[in-house]
């Protein structure tokens, strides 16, 4: 797959210091957070201790095609090993037929251990990546491009170990060409998705460099087996997991993520996501750029030791009143849609003229000419705004458009994905597992 590289920057910013639902339908979640001014010291553009600060601009896949909300919703169910609801069976059949597959393709649980999982039909997905970031592995350095994902904790890549047909079109990590590469005997890894696709392989330790930072001995998961649906994506050559190491897939010894290893060399142990609509966004490391947000940042400690997970306490649709509704959600740069509890989805689309549940595809759609109201979410006293025109996820082809907000009811948690994240500035502090949100300038419709 051909792709164009937009501006890739690793900017050395100085050696700064290394209709509202009933309340009883909602989870009872306590929101404990604080405003930025209440912290002992601000991290914004301040030199506190020796360390690195830098920013990475995403690289855009100019051939990326939006597949539609049903496709991305099914991918999310697959990612989190959750049985999709009956309402999505039509979507499963549609995408399976489009790929010339049987509609039923069994999948049973994770491979590791004795746990038994559910059996479910999924089409195999084309893991077509929209944006990646540059990563350099080994000595001398080998440049590759990985998908930065806060919803996982594995750094895996296509390599010279990968089964030969799956190497086609990919940039390969070649351990034998690196003076600092070391195979770790006895360690294996396997990532498997609900559709039966996945990747697995062996473990190396090697030097990894991102921007102005590096880790001398980072765990590199070298792929041997890769599913066809994954290796067909010639744009991304692996995953850069930025979640917590507790969900790392290496066995018998879980490995730390790059961010967990590099945090002491940063001016501050943070990275931020300033994702954008219709253009590449920026990830900044070691500092918080005050020019990328407006107003104060509101922080919360993650309510999970596995995911970047926050507590929310309500929502508002357009200029209406704020509706108390408590639930938890993970912050996942690897998920495209905004997935929220069903009552919230219902309340939002009640304000969209002509919105309906697509009977065959099982997702919310609306007439493309309909006005979409803003969506406002609450996190304690914080109110984050997603402009209405950010809430659309492209045309369906029959005069209707897919909604970027869909239900999370069958998933283990709600998910704050790209639809919401492109309208917010987000801070991830790996040292104390806190997450910060702030509003920012958004593009006009």
Q: Edge to edge, what strands does the sheet with 392-395 contain?
A: 356-357, 364-367, 400-403, 392-395
Give me 293's structure tokens: 């947000």
User: 61 — phi, psi (to 5°)?
Assistant: -85, 105
CA distance 122 to 119: 10
Residues taking part in catalysis: 149, 332
CA distance 218 to 41: 31
Task: State the Cα angle at 192 between 330 and 156, rounded to 5°.
Answer: 80
Residue 203 Cα to chain centre, angstroms: 24
CA distance 43 to 27: 33
Give me 310's structure tokens: 């926050």
Residue 316 Cα to chain centre, angstroms: 24
CA distance 15 to 237: 31
The DSSP annotation for 294-347 comes to EEEEEEEE-S-SSS-EEEEEEEEETTS--EEEEEEEEE-TT--SEEE-HHHHHH
């Amino acid at each position: 797959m051909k792709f164009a590289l937009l501006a890739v920057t690793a900017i050395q910013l100085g050696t700064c210091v290394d209709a509202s639902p009933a309340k009883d339908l909602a989870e009872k979640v306590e929101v404990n957070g604080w405003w930025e001014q209440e912290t002992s010291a601000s991290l914004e553009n301040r030199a506190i201790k020796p360390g690195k600060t830098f920013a990475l601009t995403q690289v855009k896949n100019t051939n990326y095609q939006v597949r539609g909300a049903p496709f991305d919703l099914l991918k999310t169910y697959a990612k989190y090993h959750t049985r999709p609801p009956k309402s999505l069976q039509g979507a499963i059949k549609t995408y399976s037929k489009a790929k010339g597959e049987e509609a039923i393709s069994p999948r049973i649980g994770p491979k590791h251990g004795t746990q038994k999982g559910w059996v479910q039909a999924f089409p195999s997905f084309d893991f077509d990546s929209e944006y990646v970031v540059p990563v350099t592995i080994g000595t001398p350095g080998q440049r590759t491009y990985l998908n930065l994902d806060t919803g996982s904790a594995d750094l895996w890549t296509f390599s010279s170990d990968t089964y030969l047909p799956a190497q086609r079109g990919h940039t390969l990590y070649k351990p034998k060409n690196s003076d600092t590469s070391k195979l770790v005997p006895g360690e294996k890894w396997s990532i498997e998705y609900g559709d039966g696709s996945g990747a697995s392989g062996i473990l190396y330790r090697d030097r990894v460099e991102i921007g102005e930072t590096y880790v001398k001995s980072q765990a590199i998961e070298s792929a041997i087996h890769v599913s066809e649906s994954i290796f067909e994506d010639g744009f991304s050559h692996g995953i850069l997991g930025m979640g917590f190491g507790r969900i790392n897939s290496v066995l018998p010894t879980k490995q730390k993520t790059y961010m967990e290893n590099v945090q002491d060399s940063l001016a501050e142990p943070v990275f931020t996501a300033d994702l954008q609509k219709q253009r590449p966004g920026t990830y900044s490391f070691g500092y918080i750029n005050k020019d990328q947000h407006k107003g104060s940042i509101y922080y919360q400690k993650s309510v999970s030791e596995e995911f970047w997970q926050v507590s929310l306490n309500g929502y508002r649709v357009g200029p209406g009143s704020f509706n108390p509704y408590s639930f938890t959600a993970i912050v996942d740069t690897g998920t495209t849609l905004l997935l929220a509890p069903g009552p919230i989805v219902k309340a939002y689309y009640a304000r969209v003229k002509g919105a309906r549940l697509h009977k065959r595809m099982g997702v919310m759609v609306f007439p493309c000419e309909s006005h979409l109201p803003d969506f406002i979410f609450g996190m304690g006293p914080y109110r984050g705004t997603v402009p209405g025109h950010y809430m659309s996820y492209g045309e369906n082809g029959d005069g209707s458009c897919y909604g970027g907000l869909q239900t999370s009811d069958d998933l283990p948690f709600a998910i704050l994905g790209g639809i919401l994240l492109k309208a917010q500035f987000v801070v991830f502090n790996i040292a104390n597992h806190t997450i910060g949100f702030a509003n920012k300038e958004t593009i006009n419709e």
